[in-house]
Amino acid sequence: MIRLSGVGKTYADGTVAVQAVDLEVAAGELLCLVGPSGCGKSTTLKMINRLIEPTTGRIEIDGRDVTGEDPVKLRRGIGYVIQQVGLFPHQKILTNVMTVPLLSGGSRAAARARALELLELVGLDPATYADRYPHQLSGGQRQRVGVARALAADPPVLLMDEPFGAVDPVVRVRLQDEFRRLQRDLGKTVVLVTHDIDEAVRMGDRVAVFAAGGRLAQHATPAELLAR
């Protein structure tokens, strides 16, 4: 589904962020990119949806080189969730989730119905939360809205950068498990960046361990990693 071959990124100032990374993610699989801060995880993630252009190598989604794709069209098939989800502060929660399907030309009624369904799916009772504003939600609840919004466009691929990083530890474990169940049920292909090895082992079908200098140190299943 997603394949990185010899991918590297050197920023304009000469910083070598990622070097010679080979990775594969199968359809429906959740891959965690884990490693210390500054080892190139976010850069790798952003290269997949071309927020950053690789310096070397090739990235393919379903056999198609992403550099040959129109970036706007490419991103329609890729949801992106970051730690500080940028919800629209002056829009109600329901509207925040409806916006993407509306922009892609769906009917208002269909977008609304889907948004209500997604709020339910991520564990936010629409009767309570649909008409609230983002500042009236806890950090964990805002992350759920971010996930619902990313799912609203029904992208086959989700890229997540520290999606649960801003959430307190107890809520985080619950969100991890709930998201994992949702991801399996919906059959989404996910690449998730975390600096937390426990999160990576808990959530990943596979784990790619990055090391200093943006090199891939290991690429294994959680069971294989724990056995080493």
Number of neighbours of residue 187 by Cβ within 10 angstroms: 10
Binding ligand ADP by CB under 6 A: which of 20, 51, 102, 137? 137
Specify the residue, 41 or 149, whose C-beta has the smaller distance to ligand ADP. Answer: 41
Site membership for ligand ADP, residue 136 (CB under 6 A) = yes
Site membership for ligand ADP, residue 172 (CB under 6 A) = no
**DSSP string over 130-196:** TT--GGGS-HHHHHHHHHHHHHHT--SEEEEESTTTTS-HHHHHHHHHHHHHHHHHHT-EEEEEES-
Specify the residue, 166 or 182, whose C-beta has the smaller distance to ligand ADP. Answer: 166
Specify the residue, 76 or 215, whose C-beta has the smaller distance to ligand ADP. Answer: 215
Encoded one letter per residue, x for contact with ligand ADP by CB under 6 A and - for no contact, window 150-169 reads ------------------x-
Measured in whole angstroms, the distance separating CA 176 from the mean position of its chain's CA atoms is 13
Site membership for ligand ADP, residue 42 (CB under 6 A) = yes
| Residue 44 CB-half CA count within 13 A | 36
In whole angstroms, give the CA distance from residue 162 to residue 82. Answer: 6
Site membership for ligand ADP, residue 127 (CB under 6 A) = no
Binding ligand ADP by CB under 6 A: which of 23, 31, 34, 39? 39
Sheet of strand 2-10: strand arrangement: 16-25, 2-10, 56-61, 64-65
DSSP 45: H
In whole angstroms, give the CA distance from residue 141 to residue 90. Answer: 17
Parallel, antiparallel or unpaired: strands 157-161 and 189-194: parallel
Q: What is the number of the residue whose Cβ is closest to ligand ADP?
A: 138
Query: In which residue are the tokens 């080189």 written?
Result: 65
Specify the residue, 30 or 39, whose C-beta has the smaller distance to ligand ADP. Answer: 39
Site membership for ligand ADP, residue 13 (CB under 6 A) = yes
Specify the residue, 26 or 212, whose C-beta has the smaller distance to ligand ADP. Answer: 212
Give the nearest distance from C-beta 45 to ligand ADP in angstroms. Answer: 8
Touching ligand ADP, residues 61-80 (CB under 6 A): none
Residue pair 31/190 in contact (Cβ under 8 Å)? The answer is: yes
Site membership for ligand ADP, residue 84 (CB under 6 A) = no
Site membership for ligand ADP, residue 40 (CB under 6 A) = yes
Specify the residue, 49 or 111, whose C-beta has the smaller distance to ligand ADP. Answer: 49
In whole angstroms, give the CA distance from residue 222 to residue 228. Answer: 10
Query: Which residues are at the interface with ligand ADP (CB under 6 A)?
Result: 11, 13, 15, 17, 35, 37-43, 135-141, 168, 171
